[in-house]
Amino acid sequence: MPHDQALGENPVASLAAGGCRLRLPRPEGYAAGMGGDVGTAGSGVPRVGIIGGGQLARMTAQAAIGLGVGLRVMAERPDDGAATVVPADRLDIGAPGDESALRRFLAGNDVTTFDHELVDVAVLSRLAAEGHAFLPRPATMALGQDKRRQREVLSRLGLPCPPSAPVERLADAVAFGDRHGWPGILKASRGGYDGRGVWVVDDAAAASVLVPDLLAAGVPLLIEELVALDREVATLVARRPSGQVVAYPVVETVQREGICRRIIAPERVDAGLAVRLVGWSHHLAEEIDLVGIMAVEWFVAGDEALVNEIAVRTHNSGHYTIEGSVTSQFAQHLRAILDWPLGETALTAPVVVTVNVLGAAGVTTPLAARMPAALAVPGVHVHLYGKTPRPGRKLGHVTALGTDVDEVSARAQMAADALAGACEAGWNGQDGIEHG
């Protein structure tokens, strides 16, 4: 169906037409507590819930304000980043694995989305069969949360991936390393992010130390070839149920120790490669029947690119879009799951750079005390996630816009270093990253 035909007056009806089962009518009495016209009976605005209360939910809540959507949050703890920014009547505290807590949360939502992948897809599928609407759909979440499954599906669809194999026993890892060369990269198929769940395995002896313990601990594993990559880039696409797809420009992601440190938009890859990466991402979104936003992380080596992994949610590589794109990824995700027209994805400046602020050992002053130094850097946009600092934990990010990549990067980095407490921790500024 062409998307312009699918724009019903009632977004709930239009979502239903897009194949999603929504729970209607809304429960009596619930709307009374919602405040404003958001989510009240007859307002026509669906009640959107998000499972998880981290920074992604927090920035989604910010985008929801402008769209007139009162986001409901299910956070694990009352001090989670998003839990502290939504009104009490839009906050549930509970673990996503606690089915009764999940059911209570779902009772207040017309459509439910995700801040992370740590959900039980079997439970979601059962709840979806009962009529609860999840977007992205449970089958898409299953793909997002399982790297082994991703590799199978992506390869079947013809997307280039690094050679990899599932590891059910030590012999699988050893056979793979002997065939493809050591070191190999061992990955937890589920649950790893920000460098967690990734191990460089030098040889068969190292594998024999690591693999049995991980398997015994129930960690599902895969092993992949170490790619001699020049750089890492990411694509970001959004798709709504009625079929409209939009793609953002390709960005470069600079990683250190498995954690994204800096995002540079646009990426200066060969234009032909950029077109191919966006084309593949678009194709993938359609093939997996994506609803919402999806990031695809790529390893680039020469003229070739291989998919590292996909995320079927808002993503760190898209944080620059808050100021650096006509439509932020958070607003775009909400628009997509509500089957509203998707927004333009053009950059708002020739160059946009985002630098993550990570917790650092030895820094004890509160972040707020370091804000003046960061805000003294001209033209930077600071986003703090309201999280308790821990070394390596993403606490916020800084975005700068301009025309010269070195100048813009330096400004964003200076503010991010100030926030991270570079002086206190005794770093030499720049966090050791050179723009490649």
116 near ligand AIR, judged by CB under 6 A: yes
- Of all residues in the shown chain, the one whose CB is closest to ligand AIR is 54
Q: How far apart are CA 217 and CA 212, in angstroms?
A: 9
Residue 151 Cβ, how far from ligand AIR at the closest point, in Å? 19
Q: Give every CB contact of residue 369 below 8 A, 6+ residues apart in sequence.
A: none
Residue 57 Cβ, how far from ligand AIR at the closest point, in Å? 6
Residue 216 Cβ, how far from ligand AIR at the closest point, in Å? 25
Which of 53, 249 has the CB closer to ligand AIR? 53
56 near ligand AIR, judged by CB under 6 A: yes
Pick from 54, 96, 249, 318: which binds ligand AIR (CB under 6 A)? 54
Which of 261, 387 has the CB closer to ligand AIR? 387
Contact present, 431 and 359 (Cβ < 8 Å)? no
Residue 360 pairs with which residues in a beta bridge?
Answer: none
Pick from 125, 393, 427, 430: which binds ligand AIR (CB under 6 A)? 393
How many CA atoms lie within 13 Å of 260's alpha carbon, on the beta-carbon side? 26
Which tokens belong to 156?
């079947």
Range 245-264, binding ligand AIR (CB under 6 A): none
Q: Name the segment binding ligand AIR (CB under 6 A); options: 49-57, 167-175, 225-233, 371-379.
A: 49-57
Residue 191 Cβ, how far from ligand AIR at the closest point, in Å? 10
Q: Name the segment binding ligand AIR (CB under 6 A); options: 11-19, 322-330, 331-339, 387-395.
A: 387-395
Q: Give every CB contact of residue 387 below 8 A, 6+ residues apart in sequence.
A: 54, 55, 80, 81, 393, 394, 395
Contact present, 109 and 47 (Cβ < 8 Å)? yes
Backbone angles phi, psi at 252, to 5 degrees: -90, 140
Which of 26, 58 has the CB closer to ligand AIR? 58
Residue 278 Cβ, how far from ligand AIR at the closest point, in Å? 23
Contact present, 107 and 129 (Cβ < 8 Å)? no
190 near ligand AIR, judged by CB under 6 A: no
52 near ligand AIR, judged by CB under 6 A: yes
SS3 label, residue 53:
coil
115 near ligand AIR, judged by CB under 6 A: yes
Q: How far apart are CA 353 and CA 266, in angstroms?
A: 9
Q: Name the segment binding ligand AIR (CB under 6 A); options: 47-55, 262-270, 276-284, 363-371.
A: 47-55
110 near ligand AIR, judged by CB under 6 A: no
Q: Name the segment binding ligand AIR (CB under 6 A); options: 50-58, 203-211, 321-329, 373-381.
A: 50-58
Residue 378 Cβ, how far from ligand AIR at the closest point, in Å? 29
Residue 253 Cβ, how far from ligand AIR at the closest point, in Å? 13
Residue 200 pairs with which residues in a beta bridge?
Answer: 185
147 near ligand AIR, judged by CB under 6 A: no
39 near ligand AIR, judged by CB under 6 A: no
Which tokens belong to 396?
């916020």
Q: What single string gives the DSSP state of each residue in 267-319?
A: ----HHHHHHHHHHHHHHHHHTT--EEEEEEEEEETTEEEEEEEESS--GGGT
Which of 26, 387 has the CB closer to ligand AIR? 387
Kindly report the CA angle at 382 between 434 and 79, in degrees rounded to 5? 115
Which of 66, 258 has the CB closer to ligand AIR? 258
Residue 227 Cβ, how far from ligand AIR at the closest point, in Å? 22
Residue 359 Cβ, how far from ligand AIR at the closest point, in Å? 9
Which of 80, 224 has the CB closer to ligand AIR? 80
193 near ligand AIR, judged by CB under 6 A: yes
357 near ligand AIR, judged by CB under 6 A: no
Which tokens belong to 49?
């819930």
Q: How far apart are CA 214 and CA 233, in angstroms?
A: 30
Residue 237 pairs with which residues in a beta bridge?
Answer: 247, 294
Q: What single string gives the DSSP state of each residue in 341-408?
A: PPPP--BSSSEEEEEEEE--TT--S-HHHHHHHHHTSTT-EEEE------TT-EEEEEEEEES-HHHH
Residues that bind ligand AIR (CB under 6 A): 52, 54-57, 115-116, 193, 387, 393-394
